[in-house]
Amino acid sequence: MKRRFGDFTSLAEALDYAAQGQSGINFYSAKGVLLESLPYSLLKDQAKDTAKKLLTLGLKKGDRVAIIAESDSDFSRIFFGCQYAGLVPAPMPLPVAFAGKSAYIDTLRGMITNSSASAVITAQTIQSWTPEIIEGFSLKFGGSPAELMDIQADQTIELPTINSDDLSYLQFSSGSTRFPMGIAVTQKACLANVHAISKYGLAVKETGDRCVSWLPLYHDMGLVGFFITPLTCQLSLDLLPTRDFARRPHVWLDIISRNKGTLSYSPSFGFELCARRTPSSTLELDLSSWRAAGIGGDMIRSHILDQFAEQYAVYGFSPKAFVASYGMAEATLALTFAPLDTGVKTDTVDLNVLETNGIAKPCNDPKITTRTFTLCGPILPAHKMEVRDENGKSLPERHVGSIFVKGPSLMKEYFHQEEETKRTISADGWLRTGDLGYILDNEIVITGREKDLIIINGRNIWPQDLEWAAEHSFNALRSRDVAVFSVDADEHESIVALVQCRFIDPVERKNLQEEMTNLFRRQHGVEVSVILVPPHSLPQTSSGKLTRAKARKMLLDGEFNINT
């Protein structure tokens, strides 16, 4: 069969086409043992049967179905069952490690409320929590995948026609201090994005490509990039459970090696976990097949990628395989891709000029404090991107401003959030991403988030600069161990650094505080209050990003166990 690159009217049509071939999804255990193979041909039949089960319950086209997104075949059947039934699946996160049950259920119930879900399907792993999750909601169904599958479908039910303007799914944003908002993505927008990803961003080949992923299916990079995209261009996918990745990151590399994977993505911290841990001497790796090792989902740390490339060169990994990219759920997923086969390109700039003038002036003088950024590629075809100043004027190269995008992949709306949608998307279709950056050689360079920017004495200070400086200077720290933000104190803005500290000895703890305070003073010329907090206490989003806004709120609310 001829490969198609997402050129379909709906995801249901895409699965119908993929079912004609031999590809499918392989589900692996945390230890890399194959648990189940699900050809697209079988997924199609099971998804259609699931669609009829859902409609038998009394659900109607357009109703929302909340699904706790475990990386398994149940999620696959239910998600695509919704596509055939004309229902709108809303993938929701599993509990995050070290997070409390009560806080998780509260967040989940907020998502269910915001999506006005008519059905809630929990994961087998948290089945016992179902009564607390669904209490008080008026639902057509609330239970586990097994309970859904036990329903006898009315086989006389006809599946509805799915149109390109129909909603395909709701993607919940992450990182907000309030309940996240549902991003409404149409069939047309989703397929426009996967077409651009597969045909241009990754340049999927007619033969030989294979995807491997551990990314969560409740996050846009996992759901769209490594669940929907492989299917819509008829590629096989090897899927690992997200919850076990941090404990066994090398299983990811082992699956790539064993199955000759060619396409696989991770945020920077995934590469860092692999680089920090030397593979077992019994593990025979061959990473030479990995042609697109993508990085996205967070600010890209080039030094981590350098460490990974150096450590895994002996296993055949090529640094030219790295593909930096930029995107967001409001644009379905991807907006830019760095050119393939070129590796990571960086730009080192004078940090003082950047902070005081908003200009990324090139600098390689070792006597001057600099910052190195990663180029994330040009905007995808059929899309547009501009960097604008506070008055909405488009800025020239190397001038930092707010990033705006436009194109066929943009969300329809924040679901049932009209005012928030209007604040984000202008009447002429431009979306304010909330990110800051600059253009260089037609590629976008991301410098940070607008809401995280700290302004002290006329200087624009990016918290990432301080976080990275600390993590890079102290061996005891890992990525996402430091959260920097500003607070109002005595009518003045001051900077705080929360640091996850594993030291027990009071002397070592005091030394870390003093040395880090001096580092910030010496390298960045700012006074920072360094506060030590316990390991695993800094909040993260469902996709593993550090959330500074929540960390700030937790500090002000006295939620940290601080013992210095």
Query: Per-residue confidence at 543, pLDDT binned at 50, 70, 90?
Result: low
Query: Per-residue confidence at 264, pLDDT binned at 50, 70, 90?
Result: very high
Residue 327 maps to a domain: no
Element (H, E) at 421: helix 418-424
Do 405 and 423 lie in one domain? The reply is: yes
Its sign, for the CA torsion 183, 188, 192, 198, is: positive
Residue 315 maps to a domain: no
Among the three residues 153, 175, 205, which one is the final residue of a domain in this structure?
Answer: 205
Residue 276 maps to a domain: no
Q: Give the CATH number, domain containing residue 53.
A: 3.40.50.12780
Do 483 and 368 lie in one domain? The reply is: no
350-401 pLDDT per residue, tens: 999 999 999 999 999 999 989 999 999 999 999 999 999 999 999 999 999 9
Residue 158 maps to a domain: yes
Read off the tokens for 174.
């992450």
Residue 56 maps to a domain: yes
Do 186 and 39 lie in one domain? The reply is: yes
Among the three residues 406, 423, 451, which one is the final residue of a domain in this structure?
Answer: 451
Classified as helix, coil or strand, 490 is: coil
Residue 440 maps to a domain: yes
Residue 51 maps to a domain: yes
Do 458 and 438 lie in one domain? The reply is: no
Do 546 and 464 lie in one domain? The reply is: yes
Do 440 and 490 lie in one domain? The reply is: no
HEC secondary structure over 237-269: EEECCHHHCCCCHHHHHHHHHHHCCCEEEECHH
Q: Give the CATH number, domain containing residue 487.
A: 3.30.300.30
Do 400 and 422 lie in one domain? The reply is: yes
48-104 pLDDT per residue, tens: 999 999 999 999 999 999 999 999 999 999 999 999 999 999 999 988 654 578 878
User: What domain count does the chain have?
Assistant: 3
Do 447 and 520 lie in one domain? The reply is: no
Q: Give the CATH number, domain containing residue 364.
A: 2.30.38.10
Look at 305-314, 406-415, 435-444, 478-487 and tell me which has the smallest mean pLDDT: 478-487
277 CB-side CA count, 13 A: 16
Do 437 and 528 lie in one domain? The reply is: no
209-248 pLDDT per residue, tens: 999 999 999 999 999 999 999 999 999 999 999 988 989 9
Do 95 and 135 lie in one domain? The reply is: yes
Classified as helix, coil or strand, 38 is: strand
Residue 287 maps to a domain: no
For 264-288, what is the mean pLDDT?
91
Q: Which residues of 427-457 are buried (b: 16+ CB within 10 A; e: fewer)?
A: eeebbbbebbbbbbeebbbbbbbeebebebe
For 434-462, what is the mean pLDDT?
90
Q: How far apart are CA 18 and CA 8, in angstroms?
A: 11
Q: What's the pLDDT score for residue 349? A: 97
Do 139 and 163 lie in one domain? The reply is: yes
Q: Tell me the pairing of strands 492-500 and 528-533.
A: parallel
Read off the tokens for 176.
């907000």
Q: What's the pLDDT score for residue 177? A: 38
Length of the chain: 564
Name the residue type at position 471: E
Among the three residues 148, 172, 205, which one is the final residue of a domain in this structure?
Answer: 205
Do 136 and 46 lie in one domain? The reply is: yes
Query: 534 is in which domain, residue-wise?
Result: 453-556
